Every structure is written in C-alpha cells, then in structure tokens.
C-alpha cells in the first residue's frame, strides 16, 4: 500500500468513532503502567495513541477525545476514591458514585485541555516538530495539575511509571517533569515514523539515544555516605480505619505498638505510622509519651511516632511527627490534603459535604520554616502521608537532611491499588534526593527504599508487621536537588515558544505570493 494511502487510512481511523471507543481503553492501558501492575511500556503505547488522535482532530474533538482518555486513566487509576468516600467517609451509595464520577471528571479535564491545545498548534505545524508539541504541552499541564490546582494532585503522572526502565536514570538529574517529557517525546518520535523512511531512521536513532543515555545515568551515584550505618525498624500496626479512632480501642492500639517496639530496642531508629497514637499529644503526654521516651533513652534508641497536636489557639490543629529520645523534636505537616485535611473552594465544598453528612479533618499547615527533626544524631526530612507526592517537600530540606522519613495511613483506601501507587510515588523522592527513605504505614506498604529508588525491604501489605534493616546517612546533592523543576519547565516553555514562532514564520511564507 502506498505510504500516502496508508497515512490516509490511519488518519481516517483516528478521526472516526472507533477512536472515541478506544480512548478510554487507552487511558486504562496508561493506568496499567503504574503500580501494582507495572506494565511500564504500556504508557508509551497509550501516549502514542492519544498523540495520534490529537494530530488529526479539530481542537474541540481533540478535547473530547482527551476527556475520554482521562475517564479511562483516572476512572481506573484512582478508583480507590470510591472506597474512601463510601466505606470510610460515610456517604451513601449514590453519593459515593456521584462524588467519584465528579472527582474523575475534574481530573479528566486536564488531558482534555492538553488535547485542545495540542490540536490547535499541531494542525498549523509540520511533521518536524509534531513530536515536541504534544510532549511539551502534556508535561506543562501535568505540572499545573501536580503543583497548582487544588494544592496539587500529582497522581498518575507518567514519569512515575518508569522506575524500572532506563528513563529512571534521568530522575536525579531533571526530576519527574523533565523525565516525563523525554518519555513522552519518545512516544511522539515513534508515532512520527509513519511519515516516511527519513523519519523512521532519524527518530529511531533519537529514541535509542534517549533509552541508552537513561540506562547509563542509572549507574551514577550522585550522593555519598557521611557516617556510620544506622539500624532501623519500621512498624506496621494494621489497625482497621473503622477501629482506629474508637475511644475503646485506644489502649489496645497503644499496647500493640509498644509491644512491637520492645522487640526492636536494638535499632537506632524505630518508626511508627501516621497517627499511630490515636489521641492528641496533650491527652497522652504524661501517661504514655513520657514513659515511652524514658525507655527509648535507656535503650539508646529514637522513636518516631505520629499523632495530632493542638496549637496555641483552639482552632489550630496539626498532623504531627514527634521524635522521642535524647533530643525530642517535632514536625507539623505542611502540605495538607485537599478535602481530607482542609476544604478548598469554600464555602461551596463545605456546604456540599454538610449536605452529604460527611465530616472531614480541619488542620493547619506547619509552615515552611520548621527546624528539621533529628534521629540517631542526624537531621532528616519528614513527610506525612500525601506530602511524599510533592517533590519540593523533600528537596527544600537538603542538603541538611541525611535521610527521608515518611509516615502514612493508607487504611482510608482499604485493600485497593492506592497503597501500591503511593509507594511508587514515595520511591521517586528517594531517587530524586539520593537519600534512603524510611516509610512506615498503618496497613501498607511499609518499606525501606535505597537512594537509587530500589526497595531494600518491604512488609507484606495488610498484615501486622515490622521490618528492620541498615541505612546510611547520605550527603551531597543530585543535580535535581540543586535546581528543582524550574530548568526543565523553563526549557519546555522556551521550546514551545520557539515552535510557535516557527509555525507563524512558515504560515507567513506560505501566504506570501
């Protein structure tokens, strides 16, 4: 079949109804690239499909196709929202379905926006820059979604799917967004091969270079040990969420964690999960915390626990980490979870939740200038639950932090895929910073993560467990830790701007008699 006929038939396919039918399936394929499925290369296939669609559709149709793609991606990838709202939020079945659909639809607007912008630009361009435009716009929209809109929602950003591929080598250098761009660019280059033999040779060489360079970068150790090894133990209490805050269960919960702790007094650091103490600090300071701290000092251990704390004023509450040992220190969660720990879009969101009879937490951010907590003699970068999804939360605490500690309670999502996705995101923070990560969770997935993003040891999810291992305090900075996302995002904006200039110049030449 002649090339022009082939391209015509391919264009007709993507313009047609079958393309709309396949769009949600492509979105689901993208979701399967993430944990716990880890079919990483499906992300390239899904991106190639949606980029091919946007290349031939009008902006309005491209936005619709992007929205359908988003319904598949988020409808499958964040289906755990239904579990949280229905089982633990107390909403009825109909309200749970509607809230989940609203949640999925809101995030599906972002691939819709990407589609609209891509189509509007690509339709005026030539094949030489058709790989660059959708890749750049995709990442810029991801950046907006992950950092700005509703305090950021970085779930299912494409780079997170690549921890086991050569592209993970770029993470310590250019971070999630720079790596995501190179990955999307590879999918775009593969797609553009259908435009002719010249494109096939050039694009395949470029793709090979991207993969090979990433593989080489994976072997670089950007940071180094700065002290003696530290023995750590991480506890996973596996307390059901529906029992966690019941007053009659408090003593049993505290006894369970204390018993687990007593088996690991040989560790330098013992980490408990988020809100492992289901009471305010003032309620248990004398009866539980002070005796536990005395034991920690006697055994030359530091215990990192988590509990809510009241501030100086009645309306101030913090979600906090407390280090018990020779030197008591605190950390108050700073990056709060929208609709879980604070309500954005007030007063509308509050009225909706009141109508649904759902009660959520109201916490206060701890602030950006908190002193780093200390354990085993070293300052560390602390994060609580959702904060480990925000790269700046860890990066801005370097180079002082010698390791990372994350405490999480993913029991809100039951035995869904969310805990596995969350661990995948957390592993990226270790890789970006070149630090060990100690991640203690209530129900899973508790793990020790190496500075290269690999799992050193992992607890079995949804079981009571304790894992122990050896880490090293790390010093030095990765290139990404020095610069953050600004260079990658700035370069993307510049490339898209230059592409627009080229498109306008080409259009002006064509209009010239």
Instruction: Name the residues annotated as catalytic.
Output: 274, 333, 385
The helix (H) or strand (E) run that includes residue 133 is helix 132-147
Angle (CA) 335 236 369, round 5°:
25
Residue 142 CA, distance from chain mean position: 12
Residue 511 neighbours by CB under 8 Å, 6+ apart: none
Per-position DSSP letters for 66-115, written without gaps between them: HHHHHHHHHHHHTTHHHHIIIIIS---HHHHHHHHHHHHHHHHHHHHHHH
Nearest residue to 455 (alpha-carbon basis) of 477, 475, 493, 427: 427
Per-position DSSP letters for 363-402, written without gaps between them: -----TTPPPPEETTEE-EEEEGGGGG-HHHHHTTTTT-S
Angle (CA) 6 2 118, round 5°:
35
Per-position DSSP letters for 438-485, written without gaps between them: EEEESSS--EEE-TTS-EEEEPPTTS-EEEEEEE--EES--HHHHHTT
User: DSSP class of residue 287?
Assistant: I
- Phi (first) and psi of residue 425, to 5 degrees: -65, -45
Alpha helix positions (H), 16-58: 17-31, 42-56
Residue 231 CA, distance from chain mean position: 27
Instruction: Return the SS3 of 196.
Output: coil
Instruction: Return the SS3 of 347.
Output: coil
Which conformational region is residue 38 in: left (phi greater than 0), alpha (psi within -120 to 50 degrees), or beta?
A: left
Q: How many CA atoms lie within 13 A of 478 on its CB side?
A: 29
Nearest residue to 335 (alpha-carbon basis) of 175, 160, 152, 107: 152
Taking the alpha carbons of 398, 402, 403, 405 in that order, is the dihedral positive or negative?
A: negative
Nearest residue to 275 (alpha-carbon basis) of 433, 150, 156, 384: 384
Q: Which residue's structure tokens are 């304790």? A: 466
The answer to whether the beta carbons of residues 109 and 45 sit under 8 Å apart is: no
CA dist 388 and 274 (Å) reads: 13
Angle (CA) 372 378 380, round 5°:
40
């Amino acid at each position: 079949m002649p090339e022009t006929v082939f391209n015509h038939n391919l264009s007709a396919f993507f313009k047609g109804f079958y393309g709309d039918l396949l769009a949600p399936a492509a979105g689901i394929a993208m979701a399967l690239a993430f944990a716990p499925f880890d079919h990483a290369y499906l992300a390239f296939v899904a991106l190639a499909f949606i980029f091919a669609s946007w290349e031939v559709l009008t902006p309005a149709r491209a936005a619709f196709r992007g929205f359908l793609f988003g319904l598949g991606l988020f409808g499958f990838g964040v289906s755990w929202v239904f579990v949280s709202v229905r089982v633990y939020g107390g909403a009825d079945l109909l309200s749970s379905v509607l809230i989940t659909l609203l949640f999925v639809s809101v995030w599906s607007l972002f691939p819709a926006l990407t589609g609209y912008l891509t189509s509007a630009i690509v339709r005026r361009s030539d094949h030489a820059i058709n790989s660059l435009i959708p890749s750049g716009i995709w990442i810029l929209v991801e950046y907006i979604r992950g950092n700005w809109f509703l305090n950021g929602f970085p779930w299912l950003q494409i780079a997170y799917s690549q921890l086991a591929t050569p592209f993970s080598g770029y993470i310590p250098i250019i971070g999630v967004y720079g790596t995501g761009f190179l990955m999307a660019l590879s999918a775009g280059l593969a797609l553009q091969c259908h435009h002719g033999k010249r494109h096939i040779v050039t694009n395949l060489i470029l793709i090979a270079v991207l993969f090979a360079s990433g593989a080489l970068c994976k072997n670089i150790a950007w940071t180094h040990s700065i002290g003696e090894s530290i023995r750590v133990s991480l506890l996973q209490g596996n307390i059901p969420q529906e029992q966690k805050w019941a007053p009659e269960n408090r003593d049993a919960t505290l006894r369970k964690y204390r018993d687990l702790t007593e088996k690991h007094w040989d560790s330098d650091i013992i980490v408990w999960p988020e809100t492992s103490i289901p009471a305010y600090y003032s309620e248990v300071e004398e009866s539980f915390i002070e005796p536990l701290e005395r034991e920690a000092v006697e055994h030359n251990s530091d215990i990192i626990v988590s509990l809510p704390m009241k501030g100086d004023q009645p309306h101030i509450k913090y979600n906090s980490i407390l280090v018990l040992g020779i030197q008591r220190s605190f950390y108050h969660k700073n990056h709060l979870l929208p609709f879980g720990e604070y309500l954005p879009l007030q007063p509308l969101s509050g009225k909706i939740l009141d109508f649904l009879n759902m009660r959520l937490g109201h916490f206060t951010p701890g602030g950006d200038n908190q002193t780093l907590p200390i354990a085993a003699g070293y300052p560390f970068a602390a994060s609580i639950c959702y904060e480990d999804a925000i790269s700046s939360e860890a990066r801005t605490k370097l180079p002082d932090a010698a390791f990372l500690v994350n405490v999480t309670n993913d029991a809100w999502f039951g035995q869904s895929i969310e805990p596995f996705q969350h661990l995948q995101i957390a592993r990226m923070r270790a890789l970006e910073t070149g630090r060990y990560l100690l991640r203690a969770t209530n129900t899973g997935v508790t793990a020790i993560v190496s500075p290269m993003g690999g799992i050193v040891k992992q607890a079995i999810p949804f079981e009571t467990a304790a894992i122990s291992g050896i880490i090293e305090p790390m010093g030095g900075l990765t290139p990404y830790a020095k610069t953050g996302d600004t260079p990658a995002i700035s370069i993307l904006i510049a490339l898209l701007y230059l592409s627009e200039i080229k498109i306008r110049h080409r259009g002006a030449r064509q209009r010239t008699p």
